[in-house]
Amino acid sequence: MQLGRVLVQSSFYRFLSLAVVFILNIFLTRLMGAEGYGLFSLMIANVTFLNLLTGFGADAAVTYQLASGKISISRLGMVILLLLIIQIIIATAIDVGVKYHSGHYWLYQHFFWIGIIYFITVSLVDKYTALYNGQGFYTSIYKILFITNTCILGLFAATFSFYPGNDAEFYVRCFVLFYAIQILIIIIIFYRITNPPFPFAKIKINNLTPFFSYSIISFITNVIQFLAYRIDYWFMDYYHPGSSLGIYVLAVRLSQVFWVMPVAFAGIIFPVTAKLAGINKQSVLLTIIRFLNIINILIALLILLFANRVIPFVFGYEYAATVLPFLYLLPGVILFCTGIILAAYYAGINKLPVNLAGSVLCFCIIFLFDILLIPKEGATGAAIASTIGYSATGIYYMLYFMKENRCGLLVFLIPEKQDWMHFKELSKTIFSK
């Protein structure tokens, strides 16, 4: 039950952190308006994609190599530093090149430094989260994220109180500044906890070979999967720019709230399964999956009854058109939750080709249906395309697991006696050290 204890303790704080971020997004949707929120979300998508593209899968490789004891933290520090410098050079060149040819920057359309600073912040958060997880500080990093995200929410509340009525640009600048401060806190605490004799040690070639042999498959998988997640944003921005993009982005963000708990669990399943060899992981995994599926189905039923009233009330009547694409997204998002958990498990046991195949499947389906549906149907078409892709990918992971473990479909749905035993034991560990 070591895996289960780590999952509960770490995921509890990650869930709280993501909940705070969700509340912050409610603030931003109302303050920026649909058009401003659409451009803001496009910045996040562009920065995240470029970080994935230039990071070469290093984040997953950092966690795996450090957790499995194959490379020291000091040598990883040097790899991260050199990679970050390369990423900044590439990002700057792309941003300046796009500005020269199109008249606006790519990372953030209006200001170069906002896009670059946010790019550096996202890159460092990913890398240091990987270092924390690789070192086994699963709970520490998510406690820090929860506390700092709560402080950011408080800073936003204070900013809105003292400086009301500002445009979207003002809030974007505040957002980037606050998260830049967050990563500085994360880095300082990490080196105080680990206290390595040399944070940046000389790299040997034989250190890089296993590092990049793992990261290249992870890199390809992550890029393809991210494209599956966000290619609809770019199609929507091209065919239906302005407020339509913001309306669809909110539908996506709301539907992906269902992924908060799976992603929280997955962020720990990956490093723990890489670190703790030989333990019975499937039992805990199936308990988690069954629990999530039951909770998700119950919540989805409530959403069907109340979404039409709640969404306009909470986010403003400007977002009333969000309801229909949100409802279309639900089936695929719920089915994909199981895929998120199983993908983290297969990454942890170094079965990356399984995840690569799943990501390719997801991207190809969404890309095809985006082309067919978005030009005429807009946000509704994008939602239908995504839900088809997510559904197919979730089913793919379940079929693979069923074949590998010789079990039936009901193993993902019907609670078993051991589930209650797991929850009883795990519930005692949330606040334990």
Instruction: Read off the pTM.
Output: 0.76
Residue spans of the chain under pLDDT 50: 1, 277-279, 429-433
Q: How many CB atoms lie within 10 A of CB 306?
A: 10
Determine the pLDDT at residue 426: 54
Give residue-wise pLDDT tens across range 255-297.
988 988 888 778 777 666 665 544 456 777 888 888 889 999 9
Determine the pLDDT at residue 26: 83
* CA–CA distance, 411 with 81 (Å, rounded to integer): 44
Determine the pLDDT at residue 184: 95
- Exposed / middle / buried, residue 417 (Cβ in 10 Å: 0-12, 13-18, 19+): exposed
Helices first, then strands: H and E counts in the chain: 14, 0
What is the rounded radius of gyration, in angstroms, for the C-alpha atoms of the chain? 21
**CB under 8 Å, gap of 24 or more: what pairs does 405-409 form?**
405/282
Determine the pLDDT at residue 314: 87
**Nearest Cα to 73, choosing from 151, 9, 16, 131?**
131
* CA–CA distance, 78 with 199 (Å, rounded to integer): 8
Determine the pLDDT at residue 100: 85
Give residue-wise pLDDT tens across range 299-329.
999 999 999 999 998 888 889 999 999 999 9
Written as six digits, the tokens of 220 are: 């390809």
Determine the pLDDT at residue 275: 59
Determine the pLDDT at residue 288: 83
Determine the pLDDT at residue 125: 92
Determine the pLDDT at residue 274: 61
Give the start-end residues of each E strand in 186-334. Answer: none
| One-character DSSP codes across 26-84 | HHHHHHHHHHHHHHHHHHHHHHHHHHHHHHTTHHHHHHHHHHTTSS-HHHHHHHHHHHH
**CB under 8 Å, gap of 24 or more: what pairs does 314-319 form?**
314/26, 315/26, 315/29, 315/30, 315/250, 316/29, 316/30, 318/33, 318/34, 318/243, 319/29, 319/34, 319/246, 319/247, 319/250
* CA–CA distance, 293 with 189 (Å, rounded to integer): 36
Determine the pLDDT at residue 74: 67
Give the start-end residues of each E strand in 260-417. Answer: none
| Residue found by looking up tokens 């993902």 in the block | 412
* CA–CA distance, 243 with 245 (Å, rounded to integer): 5
Written as six digits, the tokens of 393 are: 């990918």
